[in-house]
Structure 1
Amino acid sequence: MAERHVLGISGGKDSAALAVFVRHHHPEVEVEYFFTDTGKELPEVYEFLGRLEGFLGKPILRLNPQRDFDFWLREYNHFLPSAQTRWCTRQLKLAPFEQWVRPMLAAGDTVVSYVAIRADEDYREGYTSKHKNLKVRLPFRESGVDKRGVMDILESSGVGIPKYYDWRSRSGCTFCFFQQKIEWVRLREQHPEAYEDAKTYEKNALEHGSPFTWSARESLTQLERPERVAQIIADFEKRKQRNRAATPINPLRPVRDFPEDIDDVYGVDEGGGSCIVCHK
């Protein structure tokens, strides 16, 4: 029997910072890093994983689901995943992780899983273990590391943040249903082929009677109309200005040494139910 230490990398800033944090503060621990690859990730995610591997000095194991998104889409009668039915997270993220650790647990090993929930996220809960030998640790919460602390860790390490934060507030699949409308507009600008793929999935789902579109209350075809795009951009700029005005200035940090805080710019409600395993 052994003790295994595992840390899931989502492609987002928090889990990357946690990997750096654990390496710095617990160099004696042999951590196995993993990334559950749905095959529908942003290209910027893969670039960032390579950068993080360079810092960690070891590869990040890719866990590929045995059955892909298209298989599960057919299983769910071509109904798109949504905030109400998150089958994508369940089948493409959680199930591969559970399959990976199952032989370890069956051998009697203790598996310690590190999860990147910050100290300022009291409302969040991590993965709930269903096995007595699978232990979940929250090092950021234990050590009082908040959002600013995460950014400091990434900056001081030289890892930085993923490039998609220039236009998007979270990692996850290209067509993640938690995207805001402005992020769909940006996806169309940055990766038009991915946007077209999402439109095809959506059209097929609607033809099969799916009650969901990727973006609430309108299809991607409706969203991409020039007048609608202009309205979305204008609404976003107004919201951005309101969020900036409402953000108190820290006298110890009067000048941002990172690009503007992602959540401040996008006005993301981090408690809104977004999937931890996908975007943290």
Structure 2
Amino acid sequence: MDKPVRHIMGLSGGKDSTALAIYMRDRVPEMEYFFCDTGAELLETYEYLAKLEVYLGKKIVRLSSERNFDHWLKIYRGALPSPNMRWCTKVLKIEPLERWIGTDKAISYVGLRADEASRKGYMSKKKNMMSIFPFIDDGLELRDIESLLIESGLGKPSYYEWRTRSGCYFCFYQRKSEWIGLHDSHPDLFERAVAYENKKGYQETASKEAYTWSQGESLEQLLARRNLLKTSVAHPRSSGLLLDILAEDDDDDESFCASCHL
């Protein structure tokens, strides 16, 4: 007798996947929820997932690699993950998920919204898995997702006060202003990210400049520039807000990893 098709949904601790869990809770009662834990998540993410478990009335399965980030960093010879080499997604998220599913037939529910239908997330190459996009199919956009979160009583994760998406504390897709937010909210994690950046043997560009988490400057340089700008903005003759100045340097907000940030 064939095993029944599994219905699965990956949760990142972000607003879109959370809203999808709310949206699908009563539509697919047999849903299995999972969270790929990299070991580098914010405390707020774990707290938010705990609240979501209460709302769903189901346990969220934690998936993780058999080895931690530091092990894989050594395997990749100290090359920090980047938009051009996202090994972190592969070994810390995709491989644990595919190991959990095995050969079972599964339908994966993905939280891409109708207003971002052109974005691409993880699409498994395994023939036993297929992805569907309920928000796109039903035409739900950002305003609908925000309404779902408010009406459920969960609201947005608290880190949205200084960050625009979920993911590892050292995610290279963060805006410069979000790196500053990490420093101000979690100075210990910011220092860990600096330590990774300062390790010898990490990736170098063609110009032999050391790779940095934040494009064009190291985290230490970014922080120093923020402090200089802060002093300048506080001067009676200066104008403009600090975050507005930093925002001018931010990377394109269209860049993100759908496997991590939904």
| Shorter-chain TM band | 0.7 to 0.9
2:177 touches 2:250 (CA, 8 Å); kept in 1? Answer: no
State the identity %: 45
1:185 touches 1:229 (CA, 8 Å); kept in 2? Answer: no
Give the stretch that moved more between structures: 162-171 or 119-128.
119-128
Q: Deviations over 1:232-272 (max 9, x none)?
A: 994532587x9xxxxxxxxxxxxxxxxxxxxxxx9885532
Secondary structure at the counterpart of residue 115 of structure 2: coil
Give the stretch that moved more between structures: 168-177 or 223-232.
223-232
Which residue does the alignment assign to 2:22? 20
1:36 touches 1:62 (CA, 8 Å); kept in 2? Answer: yes
Structure 1 residue corresponding to 2:174, chosen from 157, 172, 179: 179
Which residue does the alignment assign to 2:217? 218
Q: Deviations over 1:184-243 (max 9, x none)?
A: 111111000001111111100xx2152211111111111121215667994532587x9x
Report how far residue 43 of structure 1 moved. 0.6
Over 3 Å counting, the alpha-carbon distance change for 1:33 and 1:189 in structure 2 is same
Task: Supply the distance in 2 between the matched residues of 1:79 and 1:228 (Cα, whole angstroms).
Answer: 31
Q: Deviations over 1:62-107 (max 9, x none)?
A: 00211110011001111111111111111111111111111xx2xx
2:12 touches 2:261 (CA, 8 Å); kept in 1? Answer: yes
RMSD over equivalenced CA pairs, Å: 2.2
User: 1:141 corresponds to which letter in structure 2?
Assistant: I
Which residue does the alignment assign to 1:276? 258
Over 3 Å counting, the alpha-carbon distance change for 1:21 and 1:270 in structure 2 is farther
Gap regions ≥5 residues in structure 2:
205-210, 234-239
Give the stretch that moved more between structures: 47-56 or 116-125.
116-125
Report how far residue 132 of structure 1 moved. 2.6
Which residue does the alignment assign to 2:184? 189
Are 1:58 and 2:58 counterparts? yes
Are 1:5 and 2:7 counterparts? yes
Which residue does the alignment assign to 2:208? none
Report how far residue 125 of structure 1 moved. 2.4
Over 3 Å counting, the alpha-carbon distance change for 1:193 and 1:218 in structure 2 is same
Tell me the TM-score normalized by structure 1.
0.82
Task: Supply the distance in 1 between the matched residues of 2:250 and 2:221 (Cα, whole angstroms).
Answer: 23
Tell me the TM-score normalized by structure 2.
0.88
Task: Supply the distance in 1 between the matched residues of 2:80 and 2:259 (Cα, whole angstroms).
Answer: 19
Task: Supply the distance in 1 between the matched residues of 2:123 and 2:231 (Cα, whole angstroms).
Answer: 43
Task: Supply the distance in 2 between the matched residues of 1:34 and 1:229 (Cα, whole angstroms).
Answer: 41
Task: Supply the distance in 2 between the matched residues of 1:89 and 1:113 (Cα, whole angstroms).
Answer: 17
Structure 2 residue corresponding to 1:164, chosen from 146, 159, 168: 159
Gap regions ≥5 residues in structure 1:
243-265
Task: Supply the distance in 2 between the matched residues of 1:112 and 1:145 (Cα, whole angstroms).
Answer: 20
User: How many pairs does the alignment contain?
Assistant: 246
Task: Supply the distance in 2 between the matched residues of 1:216 and 1:268 (Cα, whole angstroms).
Answer: 8
2:108 touches 2:129 (CA, 8 Å); kept in 1? Answer: yes
Which residue does the alignment assign to 2:228? 227
Task: Supply the distance in 2 between the matched residues of 1:146 and 1:229 (Cα, whole angstroms).
Answer: 36
Q: Deviations over 1:18-75 (max 9, x none)?
A: 0000013x15x30110000011001110010011111001111100211110011001
Task: Supply the distance in 1 between the matched residues of 2:194 and 2:162 (Cα, whole angstroms).
Answer: 20
Over 3 Å counting, the alpha-carbon distance change for 1:267 and 1:143 in structure 2 is farther
User: 1:118 corresponds to which letter in structure 2?
Assistant: R
Which residue does the alignment assign to 1:134? 129
Task: Supply the distance in 1 between the matched residues of 2:195 and 2:137 (Cα, whole angstroms).
Answer: 44
Task: Supply the distance in 2 between the matched residues of 1:208 and 1:160 (Cα, whole angstroms).
Answer: 42
2:109 touches 2:133 (CA, 8 Å); kept in 1? Answer: yes
